[in-house]
Amino acid sequence: MYKLLLCLRYLRTRWIALASIVSVTLGVATLIVVNSVMDGFTTQMKERMHGILSDIVLETRSNTGIAQPNWYEERIRNRLGDSVAGVTTVVTLPAMMTFQHNGNSHTQQVNLIGIDQKTYASVSDFSKYLLHPENRDQLDFLLKEGGYAPDRERMQPSGWEYRRPIARYRKLVNDRVRDGRTAEEEQAAEKSRYEALQQQIQREQLQSNTAVTESQSTNADSTDPSAPANSTTPAAPSTPDDAATQTDSSVNSLMAGPGIVIPNKAQQVLQFDPEKEQRTGIVLGISLGSIRGREPDGTVQDFFFLRPGDDVQVTFPNAGTPPRGIDETFTVVDFYESKMSEYDSTFAFVPIEKLQHSRGMIDPRSGIGAVTSIQIKLKPGVDLNTARDALRDEFPPTHEFVEVRSWQETQGPLLAAVQLETTILNILLFMIIAVAGFGILATFFMIVVEKTRDIGILKSLGATGTGIATIFLGYGVLLGTVGAGVGLLCGLLFVWKINDIARVVEWITGREVFDPTVYYFDTIPTIIHPFMLCWVTLGAILIAVLASVLPSIRAARMHPVEALRYE
Amino acid sequence: MNNSDSLRHPPIPAPHMLDTKPSVPYRVVHPEESEQRRTTHSGLPSVANPMLTATGLAKAYRKHQSSVPVLKGVDFSAERGKVTAIIGQSGSGKSTLLHLLGTLDRPDEGEIAFDGQRIDCLPSRQRDQFRNNQLGMIFQFYHLLPELTLLENVLAPAMIGNGILSYWRNRRQIVERAKHLIELVGLSHRMKHRPRELSGGEMQRTAIARALVTNPSLLLADEPTGNLDQETGRTILQLLRVLNREHGLTIVMVTHDESIAQQCDSIVRLKDGRVERLTAPILRTTSV
Ligand SMILES: Nc1ncnc2c1ncn2[C@@H]1O[C@H](COP(=O)(O)OP(=O)(O)O)[C@@H](O)[C@H]1O
Ligand SMILES: [Mg+2]
């Protein structure tokens, strides 16, 4: 009873001890904030990564890929049975993407991914990261009329709405020559020039026919080495008409004369018309086609230098040995925004058939296309590692040259780095609390010394050593609880209002605390785990109690007489 | 002190001790005691009805190799219902002796018995209990707890002696007794005050009330007036005398003041760590 009373009284009269507990409060609050934010980041990131990556990937490094994907798929389904939610085949390639912007050619490295658009969405959250609502339902690699992310001002217009006028404009620009004449005028001019040239040639030939000997003699006189060539020269005049008609017809077929009309029409039929046609569709990671920046008023925006409707050239290796680069032109049909910068800045999705076809991965006899990886989605609740181990057993590295990896292993280093960061931060912050613990230790020793006489008095009144130790231990528990409790409240409050706080700090310092151009989140993500709150709070209390153990023991051991004599 | 009316009330026994404590009827004054009073000042260590006896007490303070002998074989006895004075020069070991008697320290040699039972070799927990139940102690520097109010200070021993539960169950009786004692020492109007707001005499009276709250049979006082002016000292002594007379409280009082010692029933004189002689007070008649 007296213990409780004295504890409370000490707490009320010893504010200095409360000061020593402030560091515990700060430590606890910081730990809670840091853990909540780190957890928020990690969870968001994991969620996204898991969404982007399928659960398990079977991958080969072979350039030609797995030749019998159906057989593999069958084995996977046999092995995993009911736990498979979806399987898809994929061809992934390192590639180089080139596009023109502002008259400059830009080249970027991409991860070219050939996907089966019918099944790919079943193994990952691919579709939900696409911008066009129809593509989110089902991607068909066809350019849409418009309606790409209408909330993004900087992206409008997109799709055909964008491609048509651009193509028309390009054609206009291409058709226009430097002095401002149109193509028809130019063609007419060219034609008349050519005709003039023809007439001149004919005239010259007539002249040379009459003066052939003369010219031959001069030729032979002037240049000796040209003499053997002269043996053919007489043959040429033998069929002057032939040559003339030959040239004439060839010229006609190209551009001259009235014959120009027919081939031109045929050309129009065969020629690719960007106003009405698109190339094979490609879905680009959004950072491949945009940069994040700020409007003059400070709002964060993506600025697009590529839009749905633009054409890009992609160069990738074919399946030959040694591989050779092949070019293909694709039309951007959508963007992919997973908000994971690593993916958004490298991924480019194209139809798998296109890749298999251009790379020569299709078996000419069976017509089956090879793939470089098979992605598997498990049903919810199925243990990832068990399924992975089963597949590793099914496809042992000793027999098959495929690698079986779970999504966590694929992103293992990144996840491990984040985990390590969190752990280290926790250790460091707990060290702060431990430092606070030493502060408490020192303060408590001082209080015990200060209270020496009181301890003697209590002993003379019959208090036991344990009773006196309990006073100081209880004091430590009380202080620890108060400190950790206040820290807990502060931490929760901070986490709850973290975005407001960030804004206030921004306003005061004029500097952005949380730059959305960097992080892709517009608000700081936080997650509060009750378990984390528990261990942080209890840990802090424990440290405070541990710090008060030594002074308590000292108080308990104090000799009553010496304590009473203490002045 | 005009609260002699309240002194006539029989002390309320502390409820928690009613069944645990061997009844020490300090308020029952035996009729023959008044006879014995005349025969005890013969200087013999053996008294007719001793409450506390010590034989051959030796105590030395050791520090490293050197040892400071303070008590070198002290025989002591305090008679039930009497006031015994321990007198001696400063540094003669009076406080040391009192601490030994109060089981705050262990003697190097010798035995201490309370009511015929040895208390010097009890395990520490039982000695703590003994101090709480049977002993009241007051000191020269009052030794009140500065954080607690006067009432709480008086209640402290009862709190220490009881667990939270039994204290809670008996709190009304305990508080009533504490208030009665505070009234007895004449401080009812200062109940809520902190010690530092009290005068020396008031603090000492509080200490006396505190010492009596567990209804002890023996009061050990270490120079209770040593820090007070003469007038205040006299009221304290008067209070002690009243407690002794009216309630039969046995008192052992350390003092270095000859005149105070002379008012006591018997005197133990310490010198060089030994009892010089055991004398009866000379000025018997000048008692308060
Ligand atoms: N802890 C200690 N260590 C060494 N010597 C001590 C200690 N406590 C007391 N003494 C010595 O014991 C002697 C007796 O002290 P004390 O009993 O307080 O005397 P009194 O109360 O009669 O003035 C003194 O000489 C003092 O110096
Ligand atoms: Mg002394």
3-class secondary-structure state, position A292? strand
Instruction: Decide if A465 and B130 are in contact by the 8 Å CB cutoff.
Output: no
- The predicted-structure confidence for A266-314, as pLDDT tens digits, reads as follows 555 567 888 888 899 999 999 898 888 778 877 777 888 888 988 999 9
The most distant pair of C-alpha atoms in chain A lies apart, rounded to whole Å, by: 149
* Amino acid sitting at position A95: A
pLDDT tops 70 at residue B284: no
Is residue A24 a contact partner of residue A483, using CB atoms and an 8 Å limit? yes
Q: Name the CA radius of gyration of chain A, rounded.
A: 40
Q: Which of B160, B164, B168 sits opposite A462 (nearest CB)?
A: B160
Question: B66: CA distance to ligand 1 center in Å?
Answer: 14
Instruction: Decide if B129 and A10 are in contact by the 8 Å CB cutoff.
Output: no
Distance from CA of B67 to the nearest CA of A (A): 16
Per DSSP, B116 falls in state: T
Cα A445 from Cα A472, distance rounded (Å): 10
Q: Which of B135, B144, B167 sits opposite A1 (nearest CB)?
A: B167
Q: Does the beta carbon of A4 lie under 8 angstroms from any beta carbon of chain B?
A: yes
Cα B97 from Cα B104, distance rounded (Å): 10
Cα A263 from Cα B208, distance rounded (Å): 129
CB contacts of A2 in chain B (<8 Å) are 156, 159-160
Cα A524 from Cα A502, distance rounded (Å): 9
Confidence class for position B275, pLDDT limits 50, 70, 90? confident
Give the per-residue pLDDT at A97: 94
Whole-model pTM: value is: 0.65
CB contacts of A9 in chain B (<8 Å) are 147-148
CB contacts of B147 in chain A (<8 Å) are 6, 9-10, 13, 454
Torsion of CA A68, A70, A74, A77, to 10 degrees: 120
List all residues 6 or more positions away from B48 whose beta carbon is below 8 Å from its beta carbon. Answer: B36, B39, B40, B79
Question: A9: CA distance to ligand 2 center in Å?
Answer: 30
Cα A306 from Cα A110, distance rounded (Å): 15
Give the per-residue pLDDT at A177: 55
Cα B120 from Cα B76, distance rounded (Å): 14
Q: Does the beta carbon of A448 lie under 8 angstroms from any beta carbon of chain B?
A: no
Q: From atom 5 of ligand 1, which residue's Cα is the shortest distance away? A: B61
Q: Which of B148, B161, B168 sits opposite A462 (nearest CB)?
A: B161
pLDDT tops 50 at residue B23: no
% of chain B at pLDDT higher than 90: 11
Question: B72: CA distance to ligand 1 center in Å?
Answer: 13
Superfamily of domain B82-99+135-279: P-loop containing nucleotide triphosphate hydrolases (3.40.50.300)
Is residue B144 a contact partner of residue B116, using CB atoms and an 8 Å limit? no
3-class secondary-structure state, position A289? helix
Q: Which of A10, A462, A560 sits opposite B147 (nearest CB)?
A: A10
Q: State the ipTM, two decimals.
A: 0.80
Q: Does the beta carbon of A65 lie under 8 angstroms from any beta carbon of chain B?
A: no
Is residue B205 a contact partner of residue B239, using CB atoms and an 8 Å limit? yes
3-class secondary-structure state, position A153? helix
Domain segments of chain B as ranges: 82-99+135-279
Give the per-residue pLDDT at A263: 47
Q: Does the beta carbon of A530 lie under 8 angstroms from any beta carbon of chain B?
A: no
Q: A131-153 burial, b for 16+ CB within 10 Å, e for fewer?
A: bbeebeeebebebbebbbbeebe
Atom number, ligand 1, closest to the C-alpha of residue B97: 17
Burial of B84 (0-12, 13-18, 19+ CB in 10 A): buried
* Amino acid sitting at position B32: E
Confidence class for position B277, pLDDT limits 50, 70, 90? low
- The predicted-structure confidence for A169-221, as pLDDT tens digits, reads as follows 888 877 665 556 666 777 788 888 888 988 998 988 888 877 655 545 444 44
Cα A229 from Cα A121, distance rounded (Å): 70
Is residue A461 a contact partner of residue B157, using CB atoms and an 8 Å limit? yes
Give the per-residue pLDDT at A107: 92
Name the stretches of chain A with pLDDT < 70: 1, 11-12, 14, 175-183, 211-270, 514-522, 567
Instruction: Decide if A461 and B157 are in contact by the 8 Å CB cutoff.
Output: yes
Q: Which of A521, A347, A529, A501 is nearest to A426 (CA)?
A: A529
Q: Tell me if B248 CB under 6 Å of ligand 1.
A: no
Atom number, ligand 1, closest to the C-alpha of residue B96: 17
Give the per-residue pLDDT at A351: 93
The pair of structure tokens assigned to A55 is 């659960």
Give the per-residue pLDDT at A176: 66
Among the bound ligands, the one closest to the CA of B93: 1
Give the per-residue pLDDT at A349: 93
Give the H/E segment covering residue B186: none
Helix and strand numbers, DSSP H then E, in chain B = 10, 10
* Amino acid sitting at position B235: T
* CA dihedral for A337, A343, A346, A352, sign (positive or negative): negative
